Structure 1
Amino acid sequence: MRSSSLLITLTSLLTACGQGNPQEQLPAEAARNKDTLVHQGTPLAQYVVEAFADDRGTVWFGTMEHGMASYNGNDVAFFPGTEGLIVANIAQDAEGRIWFAGHDGTGLRHFDPAVATPEINTVWTQETSVSTDRSGTVWVGTRAGILHQEGDRFVPFPLPFDRSTIGQYAIVPGRASLALEDSHGNLWFRTDGAGAIRYKDGTFTQFTKEHGLCSNMVNGIVEDDQGRLWIICMQGYQPKMTHDGGLCRLEDPTVATAEEARFTTFPDTEGLH
């Protein structure tokens, strides 16, 4: 599962990540041996876009240019076979397998970290996001919609909104993915242009800017130890900039209807728009 302590880990390990050329190759030693530890003082990558802590205590990092790396508490190492891949999402299923996903050919892949020499299995190469719920079921988001794993196949899970009605979006109108399953058993989906969607016991509830959400372009949702949801939103870019977005908090995720939702917004938080 994800950990709020990842921010501390990222800060201590990756203070130099904003430096360097995004097209640079792996450090010389690491390029010769992808199991070689990253040099002290060498940036892991210019763009580290994902951090995930698995149930074995390993922290995994997804990058935009160097694939995936791991940190076991002592050492940081690039993961063999992922060099050059864009790793935007990392998750772990009920069997302990690590799944990762991205775009530009990364698609959806998985491996078993408990094996001495893990083999990476490619499910498909189309643009994908991946996450898991509390039971370890794998959920993926594609441009065509949401799917979840049942046995050895992925089954569509349609969300109840019409993409053709989305007037403002950031990148792909209606693109959606599972953000998390909260402590109440609600599944929360983030969308590009349709807000946040809650699902439980066969019922969908859509939360939008009309209900107090800071933008309909939802980028992330996390739950704090009080059960509140923190929702990170982008502004829309298509067909024109919406000049909204930022950070807001849903005080009670169990409200019966979206109209009853109470959001607290943080409009002046630097760097969140």
Structure 2
Amino acid sequence: MKILLLTLLTILSVSCNSQEKKIAEIKNPTEKNNASQIGQYVVETFQDSKGNLWFGTLEKGVAKYDGNKLTYLTTKNGLPSNRITNVIEDKAGNLWFGTGTGISKFDGKTFTNFSKKDGLCSDMISNLLIDSKGNFWIGTWGGVCKFDGTQFENLPIPYPKIETKINQDTKDWITTIREDKEGNIWFGRDGYGASKFNGNSFVHFTTKEGLNSNNVQSIAEDKEGNIWIGTRVAEKDNADTDKRIGEGGLNKFDRNKFVHFSEINGLSKSDVFTIHNDKSNDLWISSTSNGVYKYTNNEFVNYKVPTSTMSFLKDKKGIIWLGCAGGLYKIDKDGKTINVTTNGPWE
């Protein structure tokens, strides 16, 4: 169990077995012209209200590109950790970073840090969300809590009855938090499926309701109100390599039933770690062996990416940025995938 936990912490919401990690490392691009990758693992891509691009890494802090130059913010600048898993912005323009040692508020000049000693439910942050009502949700490896800017309040989520084996090291890991158009908050959980919270009570969705796996990694909503859920193959945690086969992949929930996509390579009996709504009514979906898919006009369009994708961003110029295991990539107008290093290309 401890070996699994260390592996998960190393690559966060990406692959949970060392074999996939080795594949990602083998496919890393060769450094050229003294350029280096933005980060070995770029797990967050975000654009703030001023147009700055932010890239969270697991080992180099957060990288900021302001349109002219690339700079890094690290523990030397005041961050509590160089493991940056999330970046969000509040209404006042402050940036909030989820890290491996709590959360950090950045007003553009100084950092204010909060950790478990301040009441945070866990220092290992996995998700941050400010919902439409201004509620600040913090997902961690030890559950979820709300934050009013001063105090933290834990939100206990009931455990649905599960027939499949539960990994005790990750049973309280909140893998994703999303708000739907009706104001419900959805929590992804590693082993307990997805839980929908209406502010008063929870509804749980597991394999009993139609999910292909109880190990949920990502949740998104499309323009029709369908809920898309990405899951991973829990059997890949098995020490016996002959038993690492199981259900997993992409699920579509139309508020009545679940639909699976066994005909699409990489989206069935596989891992889907990231689903992103780009606000243009297109969905971007990661796979571990078949690049990424854009779901548009009821069709899946495939883009080749040499390694696993962990985060998506469609910026204000319409450029698609991919945070990956192995660096940062973007997709140009012709659908070509380009590796972006510390030397670019940015345009």
Q: Within the alignment, does 1:66 sit opposite 2:91 as a pair?
A: no
State the identity as a percent: 29
Give the AA of the match of 1:122. Answer: N
Residue in 2 that maps onto 1:119: 110
Q: Are residues 75 and 135 of structure 1, via their aligned partners in 2, closer, same or farther at CA, if it must alter by over 3 Å?
A: farther
Normalising by the residue count of structure 2, what TM-score does the alignment of the two structures yield? 0.57
Q: Distance in 2 between matches of 1:164 and 1:233?
A: 16
Distance 1:73 1:183, change over 3 A: farther
Residues 170 and 89 of structure 1: CA distance in aligned 2, closer, same or farther (over 3 Å): farther
Distance 1:170 1:272 in 2: 25
CA distance in 1, matches of 2:161, 2:85: 24
In 1: Cα distance, 2:81 partner to 2:140 partner: 21
TM-score (ref. length: structure 1): 0.71
* 1:262 partnered with 2:253: no
The question of whether the paired residues in 2 share the 8 Å contact of 1:140 and 1:177 is answered with no
Asked whether the 8 Å contact 2:181–2:225 carries over to 1, the reply is yes
| Unaligned residue ranges in structure 1 (runs of 5+) | 1-16, 22-38
Match for 1:19 among 26, 29, 37? 29
Question: What are the equivalent positions in structure 2 for 1:218-257 lying under 5 Å apart?
Answer: 218-236=216-234, 237-238=236-237, 241=244, 243-251=246-254, 255=255
Deviations 1:230-256 (A, max 9, x none): 2221121456646222222222xxx3x
Instruction: Tell me, in whole angstroms, the C-alpha distance in 1 between the residues paired with 2:162 and 2:172.
Output: 9
Which has the higher relative contact order, 1 or 2, with Cα contacts under 8 A spaced 6 or more apart?
A: 2
User: Which residue of structure 2 aligns with residue 33 of structure 1?
Assistant: none
Alignment of 1:107-186 (within 5 A): 107-113=102-108, 118-124=109-115, 126-132=123-129, 133-161=131-159, 167-169=165-167, 172-176=170-174, 178-186=176-184
Q: Counterpart in 1 of 2:93?
A: 96
Once the two structures are TM-superposed, the CA of residue 172 in structure 1 deviates from its matched residue by: 0.8
Q: Which amino acid aligns with 1:71?
A: Y
Rate the CA distance shift 1:98–1:246 in 2: closer, same or farther, 3 A: same
- Distance in 1 between residues matched to 2:232 and 2:90, nearest whole Å: 28
Deviation for aligned residue 1:186: 1.3
CA change 1:42–1:142 in 2 (3 A) is closer
Give the letter aligned to residue 191 of structure 1: R
Residues 162 and 51 from structure 1, CA distance in 2 versus in 1: closer, same or farther, beyond 3 angstroms?
same
1:79 aligns with 2:73: yes
Q: What SS does the corresponding residue of 1:91 show, helix, strand or coil? A: strand
* CA deviations over 1:91-131 (Å, ceiling 9, x no partner): 2233322111232xx32212113xxxx21222017212231
Once residues 72 and 225 of structure 1 are traced to their aligned partners in structure 2, the CA distance between those partners, rounded to angstroms, is 31
Per-residue displacement from partner, 1:145-190 (whole Å, max 9, x unpaired)?
2100134101011112169987234961232255211122111101
Q: Is the 8 A contact 1:53 1:59 kept in 2?
A: yes
Q: How does 1:184-195 map to 2 (within 5 A)?
A: 184-195=182-193
Structure 1 residues 198 and 215, CA gap change in structure 2 (3 angstroms): same
Partner of 1:35: none
Q: Taking structure 1 as reference, are residues 140 and 83 closer, same or farther at Cα in structure 2, changes over 3 Å only?
A: closer
CA RMSD after TM alignment: 3.2
Check the 8 A contact 1:93/1:137 in 2, yes or no. no
Which 5+ residue runs of structure 2 have no aligned equivalent? 1-26, 117-122, 267-286, 290-347
For residue 28 of structure 1, what is the aligned residue in structure 2?
Answer: none
Contact 1:139 1:149 in 2 (8 A): yes
Task: Please tell me whether the aligned partners of residues 170 and 192 of structure 1 are also in contact (alpha carbons under 8 angstroms).
Answer: no
The corresponding residue for 2:37 is 43
